Amino acid sequence: MKKKLTALFLSMTLMLSAALTGCGSAQSASPEEPGETQETAAQTQEEQVMQTAQSADKLPETFKIGVVIWSTTDDLGGASARLLDYASEVIGCEMVYNTNISSPESQITATENLIAAGCNAIAICNYSDDILPKITSLCEENGVYFTLIWRSISDPEVKEIVESSPYYLGNTCESEEEIGYRMGKSFYEKGCKNIAVITQEKGDATADARDAGFDRACEEFGMNRISEVRNNTLTAEETTKAVENFLASFPELDGIFVTGGSNTILEGVIQGLALHNKTGEVKVACIDFISDLDKYIEEGAIDAISGGHFVDPLFSYMLMVNQLAGTPLSDQCEQIDLNFINLESPEDARNYYQYCEGDSYPYNEEEIRSMVKYFNPDMTIEELKEIAAAYSVEDVVSRHGDGDVEDAADE
Amino acid sequence: MKLKEKIKIREIVPFLSLIAVILFFEIATNGTLLTFKNMKLIFNQAFVLIVGSVACSFIVAQGDVDFSMGSMVGITAVCAAWASHAIGVFALPAAMLLGAALGVVNGILFVKFKIPSFVVTLSTLMVLRGLTIFIAGGGSVSVPFSLYNYDSFPLKLTICIAIVAAAAFCFNHTKLGKWSKAIGSGITAAYQSGVPVGKMRLFGYGLSAAMCGLCGFFNMVRAGSAATNTGNFFETDILIALVLGGMPLSGGSASKIRCAVIGSLTLAILLNGMVCWNLNEKVQQGIKGVIFLIAVWLTFDKKNTSLIK
């Protein structure tokens, strides 16, 4: 019996260890490189010079940057994480993500755990303003810098508390209310009158702002918000069912607005309309990009779409990296404004995926390094803001395009 | 003899698992896990889980379940957040009273209307979440800054010790615990022995929901707000913690309060350890699932498969 007990315990421990070890991330790989360089006696002088130059491309210390984000597997969250990983690889930082954030208290827990994991700075996509005082005190107690991503602070009292903290470096955000309004206006321009909305449960700062902008457009242009679905965990199948319910209940439906199409929600809408031969007849406007957009736009399955804001965390990341490297871009917290990208044609979508998201990144190694004052002493906060403000497909193509943009688009 | 040995294995495996998890992450995180600061953090995170799972033990011991605990936490937190602007810290007893009342409603639906517990509590999970959205005014409700002080380690530790001690005493040395376990072991026998089955079930749901009120209050002061999704997946975490702790979901005499404590600590350490170890976030959920499966496999009484009544 003792053998059985021992075997059980050992097998459990082994399974746990094997699983965890197999899945562990490549921790602290980069710091070994300088050591290896010194130890390899046979290296030529030229190689040593090259390695010295390479090491100068990295920050003097491997800073650990934490990110509190809803997911790194959906279209938006995944693209952002890939870009941050890429930037960290270029300048020599380590990224840690915490996606266990189903409620306000779990966002606090996620932040605490990242601090415990030794993060030097943390970027947070906060659920609402209300949790920020707590996060501020946590970061202050532990001497950890923090920034907000995709968010701005609207509550004046909270804003004052957070912005008075020396550990708060700033935020990157988009005009969510304005994009909601523009989406609403696009429905009006296409002749829609009765629109259903698929959105998040009330309380999500981003979705609420987009909703408010859409409502403003409805009021201004005399459109009706005839129904809505609010769910934070919608899947494609559930969204398809929701669309079928809209179609069955509201024959007058001529538009569907999706406040956040990431995580297969937009695919569910497109499928729901296609199943009932309503593609093109019921207009679809959505915020957040998904894959195969060129195909969907070409087929008329999507009428207006804005997104591309996966680069948002990069600018907050730069605020943190510059601070940690001892070359802060500003002595106060800063807000960096970013534009949404609007895709209107299949060519736009193809260019976007060729140059911005997918196999390529909107900023190459040189451009990423140039955002860090440690590598580029001329970098200023104004310049970083200008880079963010200039972000568009045309901007990326002008920097990375090889002159055959139209050819690529026609393929 | 064999049965006794099996019971012993089930009792010892959760404890050994907790030690294994602690040792593993202590090594993997280069000693970060067992620093005083991190242990305080883990306790802070495990507090509501321990309180919730200890209270839920009285329901599970009877062989029943409560899937509405997350929504209970949500609605009590939001109501407490509103109330806290007027009555300050007295929002805590108010939240517990509200929770107890809602829990009794759960119990009445189960006992008087003979609706299975999982159906009742799944339904109230949805009803209460809807009400929470309505009461929260569609967003989050902030709490006065003065209440932030109640998110304190010494206070939580004192409350936690008091609750666990009281629950362990009641569970092992009073009729409340003995009757609960008797119902889980065999409801007919318990009924024929004079156990007030209906009242015990009402007590179980009332107690569990009252403790959800307490958890809601502490979640609220921890986050500085209560929102429509406060307490989301709390019921899942409770069930995982109970299973990790070796609590038989079929209830009965093998139910122990320590299962709730051990399981809650194991889960909190797992979550903290995986982040401290910088484990890829994409596989963290999978790891949790594997560990849950192993725990069920090791502790589940396969002869008694009638899980939910």
Range B31-300: architecture per CATH? Orthogonal Bundle (1.10)
Binned at pLDDT 50, 70 and 90, residue A56 comes out as low
Contact B133 A133 (CB under 8 A): no
Residue carrying structure tokens 């390529």: A360
Contacts of A118 in chain B (CB under 8 A): 32, 276
Task: Tell me the shortest Cα–Cα distance from B212 to chain A, in angstroms.
Answer: 14
Alpha-carbon distance A96 to A117, whole Å? 9
pLDDT value at B2 more than 90: no
Question: Coil, helix or strand for A24?
Answer: strand
A406 burial type by CB count under 10 A (0-12 exposed, 13-18 middle, 19+ buried): exposed
Contacts of B246 in chain A (CB under 8 A): none
pLDDT value at B191 more than 50: yes
pLDDT (average), residues B60-84 = 95
pLDDT value at A6 more than 70: no
Shortest CB distance from B281 goes to which of A98, A106, A116? A98
Contact B287 A102 (CB under 8 A): no
The tokens describing B78, both together, are 């939001």
Alpha-carbon distance B249 to B246, whole Å? 9
Contacts of B229 in chain A (CB under 8 A): 102-104, 127, 201, 203, 232
Q: A286 has which bridge partners?
A: A258, A305
pLDDT of residue B275: 87
Question: Coil, helix or strand for A105?
Answer: helix
pLDDT of residue A138: 94
Nearest to B232 by CA among B106, B125, B116, B98: B125
pLDDT (average), residues A128-146 = 94
pLDDT of residue A23: 39
pLDDT value at B297 more than 80: no
Contacts of A94 in chain B (CB under 8 A): 278
Chain A residue nearest residue B141, CA to CA: A130
Task: Tell me the shortest Cα–Cα distance from B134 to chain A, in angstroms.
Answer: 10
Chain A to chain B Cβ contacts (< 8 Å): 165
Give φ, ψ of B179 to 5 degrees. -65, -40
**Are the beta carbons of A310 and A125 closer than 8 angstroms?**
no
Tell me the pLDDT of chain A averaged across its residues: 84
Chain A residue nearest residue B5, CA to CA: A1
Could you tell me if A15 lies within 8 Å of chain B, comparing CB atoms?
yes
State the amino acid at position B249 in one-letter form: L
User: Which of B225, B237, B297 should one mutate to test binding to chain A, selecting the residue with the greatest count of A CBs within 10 A?
Assistant: B225
pLDDT value at A20 more than 90: no
Shortest CB distance from B230 goes to which of A104, A133, A155? A104
Contacts of A12 in chain B (CB under 8 A): 13, 17, 20, 294, 298
Shortest CB distance from B228 goes to which of A1, A105, A203? A203
Contact B282 A72 (CB under 8 A): yes
pLDDT of residue A335: 96
Shortest CB distance from A201 goes to which of B137, B229, B279? B229
Give φ, ψ of A382 to 5 degrees. -65, -40
List C-alpha distances in Å: A67 to A30, A125, A149. Answer: 20, 8, 9
Contact B139 A5 (CB under 8 A): no
Share above pLDDT 90 across residues of chain B, in percent, rounded to a whole number: 68
Contacts of A23 in chain B (CB under 8 A): 279-280, 283, 286-287
Contact B275 A116 (CB under 8 A): yes
Binned at pLDDT 50, 70 and 90, residue B306 comes out as low
**B122-180: per-residue pLDDT in tens?**
999 999 998 998 898 767 898 998 999 999 999 999 999 999 999 999 999 999 999 99
User: Which of A93, A94, A103 should one mutate to test binding to chain B, selecting the residue with the greatest count of B CBs within 10 A?
Assistant: A103
pLDDT of residue A52: 45
pLDDT (average), residues B94-114 = 95
**Are the beta carbons of A96 and A67 closer than 8 angstroms?**
yes
Contacts of B17 in chain A (CB under 8 A): 12
**A330-383: per-residue pLDDT in tens?**
999 999 999 999 888 888 888 898 888 878 899 999 999 999 999 999 999 999
CA angle A125, A127, B232 (to 5 degrees): 125
Shortest CB distance from B17 goes to which of A12, A105, A116? A12
How big is chain B by its Cα radius of gyration, in Å?
19
Residues 26-55 of A with CB under 8 A from B: 27
Most confident of A49-53, B67-71, B301-305: B67-71
pLDDT (average), residues B173-195 = 93
Contact B294 A12 (CB under 8 A): yes
Could you tell me if A100 lies within 8 Å of chain B, comparing CB atoms?
yes
Task: Tell me the shortest Cα–Cα distance from B38 to chain A, in angstroms.
Answer: 6
**Domain residue spans in chain B?**
31-300
**Are the beta carbons of B269 and B21 closer than 8 angstroms?**
yes
Binned at pLDDT 50, 70 and 90, residue A101 comes out as confident
Alpha-carbon distance B186 to B194, whole Å? 13
Could you tell me if A78 lies within 8 Å of chain B, comparing CB atoms?
no
| Beta strand pairing call for A121-124 and A145-149 | parallel
pLDDT (average), residues A148-155 = 92
pLDDT value at A157 more than 60: yes
Residue carrying structure tokens 């209300």: A130
**A162-193: per-residue pLDDT in tens?**
999 999 999 999 999 999 999 999 999 999 99
pLDDT of residue A333: 95
Chain A residue nearest residue B1, CA to CA: A1
ipTM of the complex: 0.85
Contacts of B126 in chain A (CB under 8 A): none
pLDDT of residue A410: 39
Could you tell me if A117 lies within 8 Å of chain B, comparing CB atoms?
yes
Q: Is the pTM for the entire model greater than 0.80?
A: yes
Could you tell me if A5 lies within 8 Å of chain B, comparing CB atoms?
yes
Residues 210-269 of A with CB under 8 A from B: 230, 232
Could you tell me if A127 lies within 8 Å of chain B, comparing CB atoms?
yes
Binned at pLDDT 50, 70 and 90, residue A84 comes out as very high
Shortest CB distance from B278 goes to which of A110, A117, A230? A117
Chain B residue nearest residue A161, CA to CA: B145
3 state SS for chain B: CHHHHHHHHHHHHHHHHHHHHHHHHHHHCCCCCCCHHHHHHHHHHHHHHHHHHHHHHHHHHCCCCCCCHHHHHHHHHHHHHHHHHHHHHHHHHHHHHHHHHHHHHHHHHHHCCCCCHHHHHHHHHHHHHHHHHHHCCCCEEECCHHHHHHCCHHHHHHHHHHHHHHHHHHHHHCHHHHHHHHHHHCHHHHHHCCCCHHHHHHHHHHHHHHHHHHHHHHHHHHHCEEECCCCCCHHHHHHHHHHHCCCCCCCCCCCCHHHHHHHHHHHHHHHHHHHHCCECHHHHHHHHHHHHHHHHHHHCCCCCCCCCC
**Are the beta carbons of A125 and A68 closer than 8 angstroms?**
yes
pLDDT of residue B139: 74
pLDDT of residue A103: 85
Contacts of B37 in chain A (CB under 8 A): 116
pLDDT value at B92 more than 60: yes
How crowded is residue B130: how many other Cβ atoms within 10 Å of its Cβ? Answer: 13
DSSP calls for A46-103: HHHHHHHHHHTTS-SS-EEEEEE-S-SSSHHHHHHHHHHHHHHHHHTEEEEEE---SS
Shortest CB distance from B278 goes to which of A1, A25, A99? A25
